[in-house]
Amino acid sequence: MVDKKRVGIVGARGHTGAELIRLIAAHPHFELGFVSSRELDGQPVSAHVAEYRGEQVYRNYAHEDIAAHPADAVVLALPNGKAGAFVAAIDAAGADPVVVDLSADHRFDDGWYYGLPELTRGRYRGQKRISNPGCYASAMQLAIAPMLDLLSGPVQCFGVSGYSGAGTTPSDKNDVDKLRDNLMPYSLTGHLHEREATRQLGLPVEFMPHVAPHFRGLTITANLHLAKPIALDAAKQRYLDRYAGEALIRVVDDAPWVSRIAGKHGVEIGGFALSADGRRLVAVSTLDNLLKGAATQAMQNLNLAFGFDEMAGIPA
């Protein structure tokens, strides 16, 4: 019997950390090596994540503790700006685990593999430093990529996400009372995921995000200007061809709904509409921001790093 790979999670209190624990608990080749959380220090993991039935307890590990803790992989589920100190401590200690950073801290670092598998797995060369893409950035890139060679200018993306995307630290964007019967725009220019998608696609993306009262799931509507006319069937066929064989991507006719993607591990892209002159295509992309937008994608990247089937441990 092959020993399971030990995966540690730093920042395990948050929504994404809990989803990762669920995925690891059900994985045939991984086991939970440690879980670090300042707020839940000393509490059993099983008291917070029912699907986990092991003996692990949350611990408030310092940077050097993480570096010294034996693990085959470390997932950093931390707010932006917090991952660097942990990576530096791991490097300084001479440890060499696979590190998957769920924050934006290394998405613009060419020394890290940018892990959006459906678009970038061909670039993977055994790197042990993996940057997990942003949730909105994933949805935008997947909606745009099949048309990339036909685009004539910037792509506009209107986005709406559930408030879990704002994390667990209290703010207006996760305040249920303020969100009730509301749609809250924010960061309408220069959003981090706008810059991320622009960098990865090599074409300007203009992104306008909003928060809605639902908990999980996001949708983006992409407005694509084309250099030459295309027929609607031909445009849809591009998506079908590009994502043929991708277990986590469904190309559909109708515009996908957030309520149908919440709690699921994949992406739905559809709702294709074309202007009368055939030179403006609109496409809608939905995914669960905590799963394919974070934890599920991290699991794909971990599977890739260890040579397992990319879908291992990910429910169909």
Helix (H) or strand (E) holding 89: helix 83-92
Domain parsing of the chain, residue ranges? 5-132+293-306, 135-288
The answer to whether residues 133 and 141 touch, using CB atoms and an 8 Å cutoff, is yes
Query: Which CATH topology does 5-132+293-306 take?
Result: Rossmann fold (3.40.50)
Q: How would you write the pLDDT of the chain (316 residues) with one tens digit per residue? A: 468 999 999 987 789 999 999 999 999 999 999 999 999 999 999 999 999 999 999 999 988 888 888 899 999 999 999 999 999 999 998 889 999 999 999 999 999 999 999 999 999 999 999 999 999 999 999 999 999 999 999 999 999 999 998 776 777 888 888 999 999 999 999 999 999 999 999 999 999 999 999 999 999 999 999 999 999 999 999 999 999 999 999 999 999 999 999 999 999 999 999 999 999 999 999 999 999 999 999 999 999 999 999 999 999 7
pLDDT of residue 195: 98
Token pair of 255 as six digits: 């515009």
pLDDT of residue 151: 98
Handedness of CA 174, 59, 289, 122 (dihedral sign): positive
Which CATH number is correct for 135-288, 3.30.70.1520, 3.40.50.300, 3.30.360.10, 3.30.910.20?
3.30.360.10
E-only strand ranges, the chain:
5-10, 30-36, 58-59, 73-76, 98-101, 113-114, 129-131, 155-161, 184-185, 205-211, 218-225, 249-251, 267-274, 280-287
Token pair of 50 as six digits: 């029912």
pLDDT of residue 199: 98
Residues forming the active site: 135
pLDDT of residue 42: 95
pTM across the whole model? 0.96
